[in-house]
Structure 1
Amino acid sequence: MPSTLDPAAVRHWCTRALDALRRGREDIDTINVFPVADGDTGSNLCLTLAAADRALRAPEAECRTVAEAMRTAAHGALLGACGNSGTILAQLMRGMAEVYADPDGGGEPSGADLLRRGLRRAADAAYEAVAHPVEGTMLSVARAAADAAAATPGNDGAAVARAARDGARTALAATPGQLAVLARAGVVDAGGRGLLVVLDALAATLSGEEPDPPEPARPPAAPDNPPRPAPEPRHAPRADGEEQPSPAFEVMYLLDADEDAVHRLRGALDGLGDSLVVIGGEGLWNVHVHVDDAGAAVEAGIAAGRPHRVRITHLASAPDRHTAGATPDCAGEPPPERTRAVVAVVRGEGLAGLCEEAGACVVRAPAGGGADEDTLTAAVRGCGAREIVLLPNDPELHATAVRAAERARTHGVRVAVVPTRAAVQGIAALAVHDPGARFDEDVVAMTSAAGATRYGEVAVAAREAWTTAGVCQAGDVLGLVEGDVAVIGDDVAGTASDVLERMLAAGGEMVTLVVGPHAPDGLAARLEAQVRRGHLGVDTVVYEGRAGAGPLLVGVE
């Protein structure tokens, strides 16, 4: 095992940390209570690190030096950062990459001292990115790791990594003493716990030792070291330990802008909300903020430059999400009433997770079939909102959705059906959903976004059949565009490439790829590279389809 980082070690570290985060994701989600108790910190860290891992494994990622590997991983994390914790993790990676790209004295970076300085720059960069740093969080865990690394003598990189991990563990145990909301919940900070997993993977990569067992979700009764006094943040907890009301929306977007414009943007967003984190540089930035006025946050980005990959999540709905199963089991005691909610019908856990992360109430349709009228009616009423937007995500479900909407209206619920024909159209509609807008305006915007999204799919034929592209045999790979078979192929990658090219022939600004668990390794990276080579100005966003998803879903907006 290398005692310091090299390109192969960076890739191994990233993969190892991602695997560990995926194993601990649910546990980390469970203890997520700060800054918003929306139960997604583990998921956001996984999504962010998965983007870094994909970037490192892309065919065009020729990382000959550790500096190139760190820069590639950091750029992937910047593009794929999700949530408050994911954005901070991406900035930590960027901070380390800065040191490896420009070591003092020049030359190829190596040695334990470089790792020490990388960890220090990572912690400093994370503090700089957060508008109002709060102690007892992922930030203080990162700083403690850097402090412990700096105090470790010698040129053994593995020893430095182990010290950083141990320093992070001590700081994590101290977080309940620094944040009252953690103490009351009896948990450690979720983001800090996720960072400890990443540092544990770093130590294991450099030492060859098996990582320590996962940290318990509940902290010890009395930490060995007293915590540093926490400054009073302007947002989040007050001096008396109570929290101010959380804003309604999480807004994230990538932004093309210069540094002066971003400086002005920080001031504008800081006046709109809290949990402001802005990372990036060299013209590309990732912006994260919690606000009550999502439209104003996006407009501030437009004033600063070109925002894209805009994601708006209704935070108020996150803790109270209700999921309808194959039977109408959500018709009991309704949750506290909300003004507006979105009900989305999906197949597969991966797509369900994506829609839930966007704030939707999900109806999981059985494999090979759709939801019935009773199930949809129960889901609409069970959301506990006065206004509902219903996304059937299947042309065959549209009539059923309309009938369910009519039944729900007799109970005083205002319901509109957006005629989404595929899951990627539903994702596009959710991306522009704005509960703060007037109901009719929101429905029009969602309908427009769905209608502007062409959809495709790559699937495997189960049996011999006639198709619009000819006769297929069982095991053939089918490429569908707008529901019709356009390509019959013999491998997923080639068929996916053909489908994507056909869909982009009519133009587009954004490609959405939902990659299933059984897709070939590197498929998303190859398709992203195809878009970059042949279609300038087109952005690509990749989601993991996870269990129940087919090889590939494609959306082109």
Structure 2
Amino acid sequence: MPQTADAPDAVAVRTWCSLALDALGREREAIDAINVYPVADGDTGTNLYLTVESAAAAVEAVFAAHETGTSVPTTADAVRAMAHGALIGARGNSGTILAQLLRGMAGVLAESAGPDRLALALERAAASAREAVAHPVEGTVLTVAAEAAAAARRTQPGASAGAVARAAYEGARTALEATPGQLAVLGRAGVVDAGGRGLVAVLGALVQAVSGRAPERPYEAPAPAAAFLAGADAGDCPAEAGPEGGPAFEVIYLLEARDEAVERLRTRLDGLGDSLVVVGGDGLWNVHVHVDDAGAAVEAGVEAGRPYRIRITHFAADRLHARPEPAQRAVVVVVPGDGLAGLCAQAGATTVLARPGEPPASGELVDAIRRAHAREVVLLPNDGELRHTAAAAAEQARTEGVRVALIPTRAAVQGIAALAVHEPDRSFDEDVVAMTAAAGATRYAELAVAERQSWTMAGICQAGDILGLIDGDVAVIGEDVPGTARKVLDRMLAAGGELVTLVLGEDVPDTLADALEEHVREGYLAVDTTVYRGGHQCAPLLIGVE
């Protein structure tokens, strides 16, 4: 039944998410192919799809909670779930902006129904998305959203949701077709803005959800210009193009922080890089920025609040000059702290952050493999508990044509050892063998604080004791971190070793590393020590011995 209410209800919101996901699924590759401003990452369609996928899953969860009863969720419940799902699942600049558009709409649609609610929602969405972008540029998805809202506002007062949605869709189409004339890089490539095209697909789904009929004029994209097919500027972000070469990393994370801290964060990140978009509110934010210093971007988040789900992607050096072909080989690594995420990203790896008690799902690993944009991928899970999850992700990526080798690393220090010998210029099999050998030759240990009294292989521990785990088993029970660390090192080095790797947690002082280095130097000749900072969420101390 076509809907003729003033605004979508919960069922229409659910239908919209489902239809938008289907539409972006069909258009994903085509949108990726025209990703032309300003970074050559070729993933706008994929990012939009993953963002809507998260929004749709959140809405389904709300409906599932009502399955035992006869009622359906309220409109407010549905739109808030949609906005929250999009926020926590947003990918890339395009997905982050779409999340803010949906959040802006939800803020209006969650209020009491009345005339012109959908038109007002679209207007609020366009305004809030523009405010979230540090340096808006015309000819991008921001322009398309603004024109869609303007067209919706021009409908007759009291118009049905279907009529408003159709007007917004037609306004967006018209604006999208004009983008090559507004942004020079689009004109040179002969393509429309990729993010804007994705928004047109989402609005087309809205038309069908609230009226029961698909748009009368489905959007048909013109073929890219021959110059673009041969190689042109690429990217997807509605922000000022950076200097030649541009920032080296894309940094994205969710952030729990207060509004005033976020304002300071915006200023800090704007000085570090470009393509800055910060969306969200009510204590939860999604932060996206392109920078040369990924560690500084994450540290800025730590100063503002609590960042998590940190994703750092290394851009190809020539991304502003040629449409990127997939790299021959990449490494995807799971890390337990933001400091190690920055370290691995600096080495060229694509990282997935594992939060304590919240290991990444296979979908997150598949997403990271896709972001690596390579024909061959080496996957380092760095946790024995992730072996099945990593295997499932590798199998899924193989069905998409990516050659994946899973090295069963059980700890971050094993992953560091494997990454240290990675050489993309040698054959894939030789590289995997060398990385596997380096990981296998690295014994690993971790210091942890006992949460309760329990039996261990080293005896009974009490709550608050310091546990030294070697190769996953409790081997030492101590009263303090320095003493326990020395005992663990002595046990590990009794079997020999050439290199000790120490990874310090966020609150561990540098003096501990100095003391342990001296302990190794005095007691074990010809053994070198390397020290890294694990950062937020890392264990107090990780130890590797090669």
Fold-level similarity (TM above 0.5): yes
Gaps of 5+ in 2: 226-237, 331-344, 352-361, 380-390, 395-401, 449-470, 472-536, 538-546
Q: Evaluate the alpha carbon distance shift between residue 323 and residue 51 of structure 1 in structure 2; reply closer, same or farther with a 3 A threshold.
A: same
Q: C-alpha distance in 2, partners of 1:96/1:407?
A: 48
Q: Evaluate the alpha carbon distance shift between residue 12 and residue 448 of structure 1 in structure 2; reply closer, same or farther with a 3 A threshold.
A: farther
User: 2:376 — aligned with what?
Assistant: 362
User: 2:309 — aligned with what?
Assistant: 309
**Equivalent residues in 2 for 1:155-304 (5 A)?**
155=158, 156-211=160-215, 212-218=217-223, 235-236=240-241, 244-304=244-304
1:96 to 105, 114, 117: 105
Does structure 2 conserve the Cα–Cα contact (< 8 Å) formed by 1:273 and 1:290?
A: yes
**Equivalent residues in 2 for 1:441-480 (5 A)?**
none
Classify the secondary structure of the residue corresponding to 1:417: helix
Q: Deviations over 1:138-180 (max 9, x none)?
A: 0000000000001111422211110100000000001011111
Q: Evaluate the alpha carbon distance shift between residue 408 and residue 75 of structure 1 in structure 2; reply closer, same or farther with a 3 A threshold.
A: closer
User: 1:29 — aligned with what?
Assistant: 32
The code of the aligned residue for 1:293 comes to D
Shift of 1:362: 2.3
Does structure 1 conserve the Cα–Cα contact (< 8 Å) formed by 2:144 and 2:176?
A: yes
The code of the aligned residue for 2:407 comes to N
User: 1:143 — aligned with what?
Assistant: 146
The code of the aligned residue for 1:91 comes to Q
The code of the aligned residue for 1:72 comes to A
User: 1:67 — aligned with what?
Assistant: 76
Q: C-alpha distance in 1, partners of 2:30/2:174?
A: 19
User: 1:3 — aligned with what?
Assistant: 4
Q: Deviations over 1:18-49 (max 9, x none)?
A: 10100100000000011312100000000000
Shift of 1:410: 8.9
Q: Evaluate the alpha carbon distance shift between residue 195 and residue 364 of structure 1 in structure 2; reply closer, same or farther with a 3 A threshold.
A: same
Gaps of 5+ in 1: 103-107, 221-232, 238-242, 326-337, 372-378, 381-389, 422-443, 453-481, 483-537, 539-557
Does structure 2 conserve the Cα–Cα contact (< 8 Å) formed by 1:129 and 1:277?
A: yes
Q: C-alpha distance in 1, partners of 2:423/2:180?
A: 49
Q: Deviations over 1:357-407 (max 9, x none)?
A: 046662499xx99x9xxxxxxx99xxxxxxxxx9743479x9xx98x9699
Does structure 1 conserve the Cα–Cα contact (< 8 Å) formed by 2:132 and 2:277?
A: yes
Shift of 1:246: 2.1
**Equivalent residues in 2 for 1:128-139 (5 A)?**
128-139=131-142
Q: C-alpha distance in 2, partners of 1:160/1:201?
A: 13
Q: C-alpha distance in 2, partners of 1:91/1:292?
A: 25
Q: Deviations over 1:523-544 (max 9, x none)?
A: xxxxxxxxxxxxxxx9xxxxxx
Alignment RMSD, CA only? 4.4
Q: C-alpha distance in 1, partners of 2:364/2:311?
A: 18
Q: C-alpha distance in 2, partners of 1:313/1:257?
A: 23
Considering only CA atoms, is the larger Rg found in Structure 1 or Structure 2? 2
Shift of 1:322: 2.4
Does structure 2 conserve the Cα–Cα contact (< 8 Å) formed by 1:395 and 1:420?
A: no
Does structure 1 conserve the Cα–Cα contact (< 8 Å) formed by 2:176 and 2:193?
A: yes
Q: C-alpha distance in 2, partners of 1:250/1:448?
A: 31
Classify the secondary structure of the residue corresponding to 1:252: strand
Q: C-alpha distance in 1, partners of 2:23/2:152?
A: 22
Q: Evaluate the alpha carbon distance shift between residue 73 and residue 179 of structure 1 in structure 2; reply closer, same or farther with a 3 A threshold.
A: same
Classify the secondary structure of the residue corresponding to 2:36: coil
Q: Evaluate the alpha carbon distance shift between residue 38 and residue 205 of structure 1 in structure 2; reply closer, same or farther with a 3 A threshold.
A: same
Q: Evaluate the alpha carbon distance shift between residue 158 and residue 304 of structure 1 in structure 2; reply closer, same or farther with a 3 A threshold.
A: same
Q: C-alpha distance in 1, partners of 2:189/2:28?
A: 19
Give TM-score scaled by structure 2 length: 0.60
Q: C-alpha distance in 2, partners of 1:152/1:116?
A: 8
**Equivalent residues in 2 for 1:398-477 (5 A)?**
417=435
Classify the secondary structure of the residue corresponding to 2:25: helix
Does structure 2 conserve the Cα–Cα contact (< 8 Å) formed by 1:393 and 1:419?
A: no
Q: Percent identity?
A: 54
The code of the aligned residue for 1:145 comes to A
Shift of 1:128: 0.6
Q: C-alpha distance in 2, partners of 1:407/1:247?
A: 24
Q: C-alpha distance in 1, partners of 2:296/2:302?
A: 10
Classify the secondary structure of the residue corresponding to 2:195: helix
Counting matched residue pairs gives 373
Does structure 1 conserve the Cα–Cα contact (< 8 Å) formed by 2:51 and 2:91?
A: yes
Q: C-alpha distance in 2, partners of 1:265/1:304?
A: 6
Does structure 2 conserve the Cα–Cα contact (< 8 Å) formed by 1:341 and 1:361?
A: no
Q: Evaluate the alpha carbon distance shift between residue 145 and residue 311 of structure 1 in structure 2; reply closer, same or farther with a 3 A threshold.
A: same
User: 1:516 — aligned with what?
Assistant: none
Shift of 1:350: 9.5
Q: C-alpha distance in 1, partners of 2:80/2:190?
A: 38
Q: Evaluate the alpha carbon distance shift between residue 127 and residue 73 of structure 1 in structure 2; reply closer, same or farther with a 3 A threshold.
A: same
Give TM-score scaled by structure 1 length: 0.59
Q: Evaluate the alpha carbon distance shift between residue 364 and residue 410 of structure 1 in structure 2; reply closer, same or farther with a 3 A threshold.
A: closer
Shift of 1:219: 7.6
Q: C-alpha distance in 1, partners of 2:424/2:96?
A: 40
Q: C-alpha distance in 2, partners of 1:409/1:205?
A: 51
Q: Evaluate the alpha carbon distance shift between residue 420 and residue 310 of structure 1 in structure 2; reply closer, same or farther with a 3 A threshold.
A: farther
Classify the secondary structure of the residue corresponding to 2:82: helix
Shift of 1:354: 3.1
Q: Evaluate the alpha carbon distance shift between residue 343 and residue 236 of structure 1 in structure 2; reply closer, same or farther with a 3 A threshold.
A: closer
**Equivalent residues in 2 for 1:518-529 (5 A)?**
none
Classify the secondary structure of the residue corresponding to 1:109: coil
Does structure 2 conserve the Cα–Cα contact (< 8 Å) formed by 1:15 and 1:53?
A: yes
Q: Deviations over 1:256-291 (max 9, x none)?
A: 110000000000000001110101111111100011
Q: Evaluate the alpha carbon distance shift between residue 391 and residue 266 of structure 1 in structure 2; reply closer, same or farther with a 3 A threshold.
A: farther
The code of the aligned residue for 1:115 comes to L
The code of the aligned residue for 1:277 comes to V
Q: Deviations over 1:211-246 (max 9, x none)?
A: 4434314489xxxxxxxxxxxx98317xxxxx6542
Q: C-alpha distance in 1, partners of 2:192/2:224?
A: 6
Classify the secondary structure of the residue corresponding to 1:254: strand
Does structure 2 conserve the Cα–Cα contact (< 8 Å) formed by 1:352 and 1:362?
A: no
